[in-house]
Amino acid sequence: MTDIPNSFNLDGEPISFEPGQTILQAALNAGHFIPHLCAHPEFKPHGSCKLCIVVVNNRTGASCAMKAMPGLEVQSDTPDLNHRRRTLLQMLFVEGNHFCPGCEKSGNCQLQALAYDLEMFNDHFTHFFQPREVDASHPDFFLDRNRCIMCELCVRASRDFDGKSVFGLAGRGRDSHLVVNSPTGMLGDSAFEKSDRAARICPVGAILPKEVGFSKPIGRRKYDETPISQLAFTCDWEA
């Protein structure tokens, strides 16, 4: 236990926090990276991807959904936790249809960037090869469900920020998938616009802008230049 108020230990180092902050927020603000996908500072904690799992007083939990408390002993950057995170990433890769070499998001994709950062060298598990729908009906955006990781950031952004509720997550278990709020279920018939917050929130390549393909070559993009674990030091969450 540390005696300093409003401070906890992360991998042995003291981290100070503002009351009300989560462990993940406090760690990132203090310049300590904890991998995460579904967490975003503008939105309420979701806790679904489980990439940000930490061990607190011998119990595993999602650090995005755990309040920071004085004196906590938090483990994050340990071989065991990083191994578990790597397995979770492999699960996400085999569940969807992720084909990085042909994906416009390559280099700007948080899933890919975390996989590099955590040294995930293969998919390990058998691929699901689930058929998933691609929706190109919108003039400015593709909705490619093949790459969706169910983080619900677009759902939250459209509902809580844009006030439109364009997206929803439907289905159960591995049949979970994005649905669009429009008479036809197509993005082109929805209220979705280029200026929406939801248009710039997808951490992967499920919501992709049209007509800007490969304007910056792969190899010179955000996470090609700097590993995601270092970018998050500045709390730069944007893709």
Partner 1 sequence: MTARPAGMNEEFTMTQVSETVAATLDQIIARYGGDPGNLLQILRDAQDALDWLSPETQSAVAKQLDIPVTRVAAVVQFYAHLYDTPRGKYRVLFSHNITDRMAGSPALMAHMLKRLKLKRGIVSDDGLVSVGKTSCTGMCDQGPAILVNNRAITKLTLRRIDEICDLIRARAPLANWPAHYFRVEDNIERADMLLGSAYAPGEALRAAIACGPTGMMAEMRKSNLRGRGGAGFTTAVKWEACRDAKGSGSGEERYIVCNADEGEPGTFKDRVLLQSFSERVFEGMAIAGYVTAAHKGFVYLRGEYSYLRAPLEAKLAEMRRNRLLGMSICGVPGFDFDIAIHMGAGAYICGEETALIESLEGKPGHPRVRPPFPVTCGYKNQPTVVNNVETLCKVTEVALHGGLAYAGTGTRQSAGTKIISVSGDVERPGLYEYPFGVRVSQVLDDAGAYDAIAVQISGAAGQCLTPQEFGRRIAFEDVPTAGSFMVFGNNRDLFEAALNYSHFFEHESCGFCTPCRVGTALVARIMEKIHSGHGARYEFNELNRLHQLISTSSHCGLGATATNALQDIMTKFPTVFDRRLIKRDFEPGFDLDAALNRAREVSNRDDANAHLAEGIDA
> Interface residues with partner 1 (CB under 8 A)?
45, 47-51, 53, 60, 62, 65, 84, 87-88, 91-92, 94-95, 125-126, 128, 149-150, 165, 167-176, 179-183, 185
By beta-carbon proximity to partner 1, the closer residue of 48 and 230 is: 48
Structure tokens at 115: 């996989």
Least distance from partner 1 to the Cβ atom of residue 126, Å:
6
Nearest CA among 144, 117, 122 for reference residue 133: 144
Q: Which is nearer to partner 1, 24 or 104 (CB)?
A: 24
Between the two ends of the chain, the Cα-to-Cα distance in Å is 37
Is the separation of the CB atoms in 36 and 88 below 8 Å?
no
Q: Provide the minimum distance between the beta carbon of 4 and partner 1 in the complex, in angstroms, as a whole number.
A: 24
Residue with tokens 């998938």: 177
Q: Which of 169/218 has CB closer to partner 1? A: 169
CA distance 144 to 157: 18
Q: Which is nearer to partner 1, 168 or 227 (CB)?
A: 168
Q: CB 40 → partner 1: shortest distance, Å?
A: 15
3-state class of 177 per DSSP? strand
